[in-house]
Chains A and B, each alone.
Chain A
Amino acid sequence: MCFNSLFFLFFFMLINFFFLVYFIMNGLSVFFEWENVTFNSMSIVMSILLDWMSLLFMMFVSLISSVVIFYSKSYMNSELNLNRFIILVLMFVFSMVLLIISPNLISILLGWDGLGLISYCLVIYYQNLKSYNAGMLTALSNRIGDVMILMVICWVMNYGSWNYIFYFDFMKNDYVMFIISFMIIIAAMTKSAQIPFSSWLPAAMAAPTPVSALVHSSTLVTAGVYLLIRFNYLLIDMFFFKVLLFLSILTMFMSGISANYEFDLKKIIALSTLSQLGLMMSILSLGFPDIAFFHLLTHSMFKALLFMCAGVIIHMMNDIQDIRYMGGLSLYIPLTSLCLNISNLSLCGIPFLSGFYSKDLILEMVSFNSFNLMVFILFYLSTGLTVFYTFRLIMYVMINDFNLMMIYNLYDEDYIMLNSMFVLLFMSLLSGSFLSWFIFSYPYMIYLPFNLKLMVIYVSILGSILGFMVSNMSIYSLNKLLMSYNLSSFLCLMWFMPNLSTYGLSYIYLNFSQILFKNIDMGWSEIYSGKGIFNILKNYSVFYNVYQMNNFKIYLFSFILYFMILFIFFFI
């Protein structure tokens, strides 16, 4: 099953690649339409839009999913129902492709709901309590987005069809478009885990690692960004886009800080995904959709590679995900640590790897256009924080001493996993330059002062020094650590938002139902049914027993009594 899907998806990627080259060279875009029902001027059509954006995204999605499915052939080989897993992943890829190629809100809804549902099935794949909780958090957060898109479908009926791309140029100042843009932004925020809805992404790391590599790094969480890129012409002048800017840079900043306090390998990678998503959303809301798309694609490459390396490491450490137990791995698993290092450095934006092209372009555009001071500071701070947690991770995992056992034998000669990582390694080295020459028909002209240009390098060096210093901390290095306990727990636990999303929303209802339970279920309704009736029956039967437990002769005496009454009444 894995081999078949590998070859099918790889072949699909090649088809997309050829069509992409042809379409970009000739500036072509194809629109298929199949009209289902036309009912009183409302037409339900199934449409497929193939332009360079959808072909490019489909190519990347099919490449990553083919590599991940081949990787999971070896990663999950002890799984009894591997076919079920592969079928779920294939259904996920199908929903994602349906979302990518649709200019029609109803087929977007099909793809969007399919993504949410199948990601829930994949998150709860290991059936333990933590997976169930994580799956519930994921599914319910995504459900809010589904509801928003359903309401958008309802509002767009005002315009006569659900092909939203035809209405952007004509209806910009309409009240209906205002409502639609608000709901679309909220839907994208839930899917891409921005600030109010960001608690599900670290929790969804309870899923198997191939699922995290495919779903939570490249496809599911970028669906929201993709939707906003499609809707970009509508949303540019709206007020809520500025709200989205504010929330997304806060997301970027918050997850960068929280990743520095984390010790779980997959959670660090999840929080770095969240930070990069915030980066994508913020550059989108500043008005540069094609740069956001560019960063989306390069990020998906190296983040999937990072998750796959994390999977190899977790397998090797006997399913331990805590980085405090790891160390010195670069000596023993050179190929995997090669992939890990390249993807980490690409994430930081080290020159001429793939992440550099997109990230540096974003930062230069932010510096070049005159924006807010807060936007500027938070962008550069988050870049520095990215380098900070990346170097901390590299120090903990690769450079410091090995902390698990005294005697160990670490190897990574699993060539199935390594081959799939090499494909992504090749792409994550080259995709930056390849895409920047391919999709930008003219380069961006940016000129900056000298120090502002080097600002990226300054924050990167600062972050790397701090990462090095923080990873050398031990239990007795700073005696005053506990004095900042409140601040540390605020920053570590993602500004307490997961608690707000889970406990904060259900606290009132749980409290209320506890009061009801204690007072009614175990209180009054025991008296009026159950125990009360039992007590009544018991007391009455005691009374009857006392009443009837007497001598037989009393019964016989009633005859004499009757005789006496007769005698008195009839003989006197």
Chain B
Amino acid sequence: MLIYDIWFLFIYMFFLGNLIFVSKNKHLFVVLLSLEFIVLSIFFFFFVLLIFIDYDMYMLMVFLVFSVCEGSLGLSILVSMIRSYGNDYFQSFSML
């Protein structure tokens, strides 16, 4: 809605990703997807930022590698959870 700059898209994507992350859903997979969405928004913002610094994209590659590792870690946790519990329902965590 509020699009003055391309910069506001980043804020908007980041914020929405966080919102999905903290929302109460049934599946763990949704949480992982929201983490990927946050990563994507940061990737986009990083890209726009690096254009203003003389097109130097190497840092972006490093970031991409690390984010992919993180995604695969999340997926492996999901797989192990399904293997042990049979589902990925998010019911057993509490404040304590």
On whether the two chains bind one another, the answer is: yes
A residues 522-564 in Cβ contact with B at 8 Å: 548-557, 559-560, 563
Distance A311 CA – B24 CA, assembled complex (angstroms): 94
Q: Would you call B15 and A563 a contact (CB within 8 A)?
A: yes
Q: Would you call A554 and B95 a contact (CB within 8 A)?
A: yes
Q: Would you call A551 and B94 a contact (CB within 8 A)?
A: yes
Distance A320 CA – B21 CA, assembled complex (angstroms): 93
B55 at the interface (CB under 8 A from A): no
Q: Would you call B94 and A560 a contact (CB within 8 A)?
A: no
Q: Would you call B93 and A552 a contact (CB within 8 A)?
A: yes
Minimum CB–CB distance for B24 against chain A, Å: 5
Main secondary structure of the interface of B (DSSP, over half): loop
Minimum CB–CB distance for A49 against chain B, Å: 90
Residues on the B chain within 8 Å of A551, using CB: 24, 90, 93-94
B19 at the interface (CB under 8 A from A): yes
Q: Would you call B95 and A560 a contact (CB within 8 A)?
A: no
Minimum CB–CB distance for A503 against chain B, Å: 61
Q: Would you call B18 and A552 a contact (CB within 8 A)?
A: no
- Beta-carbon nearest neighbor of A555 in chain B: B95
**A-side interface size class:** 10 to 19
Residues on the B chain within 8 Å of A549, using CB: 94-95
B84 at the interface (CB under 8 A from A): no
Residues on the B chain within 8 Å of A554, using CB: 24, 95
Residues on the A chain within 8 Å of B22, using CB: 553, 556-557, 559-560
Residues on the B chain within 8 Å of A557, using CB: 22-23
B96 at the interface (CB under 8 A from A): yes
Distance A563 CA – B24 CA, assembled complex (angstroms): 18
Residues on the B chain within 8 Å of A552, using CB: 93-95
Cβ-neighbour of A548 out of B24, B93, B95 (below 8 A): B95
Q: Would you call B18 and A559 a contact (CB within 8 A)?
A: yes
Distance A554 CA – B90 CA, assembled complex (angstroms): 13
Q: Would you call A550 and B19 a contact (CB within 8 A)?
A: no
Residues on the A chain within 8 Å of B23, using CB: 553, 557
Residues on the B chain within 8 Å of A559, using CB: 18, 22
Q: Which of B15, B19, B95 has the most CB of A within 10 A?
A: B95
Minimum CB–CB distance for A563 against chain B, Å: 7
Q: Would you call A548 and B96 a contact (CB within 8 A)?
A: yes
Residues on the B chain within 8 Å of A550, using CB: 94-95
A residues 558-572 in Cβ contact with B at 8 Å: 559-560, 563, 567
Minimum CB–CB distance for B64 against chain A, Å: 25
Distance A560 CA – B19 CA, assembled complex (angstroms): 7
Residues on the B chain within 8 Å of A560, using CB: 15, 18-19, 22
- Beta-carbon nearest neighbor of A549 in chain B: B94
- Beta-carbon nearest neighbor of A556 in chain B: B22
Minimum CB–CB distance for B11 against chain A, Å: 8
- Beta-carbon nearest neighbor of A548 in chain B: B95
- Beta-carbon nearest neighbor of A561 in chain B: B22
Residues on the B chain within 8 Å of A548, using CB: 94-96
Distance A549 CA – B92 CA, assembled complex (angstroms): 11
B residues 69-96 in Cβ contact with A at 8 Å: 90, 93-96
Residues on the A chain within 8 Å of B96, using CB: 548
Minimum CB–CB distance for A352 against chain B, Å: 103
Contact indicator per residue, chain B 11-34, by CB within 8 Å of chain A (1) or not (0):
000010011011110000000000
Minimum CB–CB distance for A560 against chain B, Å: 5
Distance A556 CA – B19 CA, assembled complex (angstroms): 9
Q: Would you call B95 and A563 a contact (CB within 8 A)?
A: no
Minimum CB–CB distance for A566 against chain B, Å: 11
Distance A432 CA – B92 CA, assembled complex (angstroms): 104
Distance A556 CA – B35 CA, assembled complex (angstroms): 14
Minimum CB–CB distance for A512 against chain B, Å: 52
Distance A550 CA – B91 CA, assembled complex (angstroms): 10
- Beta-carbon nearest neighbor of A545 in chain B: B96
Minimum CB–CB distance for B33 against chain A, Å: 15
A residues 267-304 in Cβ contact with B at 8 Å: none
Distance A559 CA – B24 CA, assembled complex (angstroms): 14
Minimum CB–CB distance for A154 against chain B, Å: 74
Distance A559 CA – B18 CA, assembled complex (angstroms): 9
Minimum CB–CB distance for A541 against chain B, Å: 13
Distance A567 CA – B96 CA, assembled complex (angstroms): 29
Minimum CB–CB distance for A561 against chain B, Å: 9
Minimum CB–CB distance for A548 against chain B, Å: 5
Distance A511 CA – B37 CA, assembled complex (angstroms): 81
Q: Which of A548, A549, A553, A555 has the most CB of B within 10 A?
A: A553
Residues on the A chain within 8 Å of B94, using CB: 548-552
Distance A304 CA – B15 CA, assembled complex (angstroms): 111
Distance A549 CA – B94 CA, assembled complex (angstroms): 6
Residues on the A chain within 8 Å of B21, using CB: 556
- Beta-carbon nearest neighbor of B25 in chain A: A553
Minimum CB–CB distance for A552 against chain B, Å: 4
Residues on the B chain within 8 Å of A567, using CB: 15
Residues on the A chain within 8 Å of B24, using CB: 551, 553-554
* CB-defined A-B contacts under 8 Å, sample of 15: A549-B94, A549-B95, A550-B94, A551-B93, A552-B93, A552-B95, A553-B22, A553-B90, A556-B22, A557-B22, A559-B18, A559-B22, A560-B18, A563-B15, A567-B15
Which residues on A are within 8 Å of B, measured CB to CB?
548-557, 559-560, 563, 567
**Given A551-B24, A553-B22, A555-B95, 9 additional A-B pairs, CB 8 A:** A548-B95, A549-B94, A551-B90, A551-B93, A552-B93, A553-B24, A557-B22, A560-B18, A563-B18
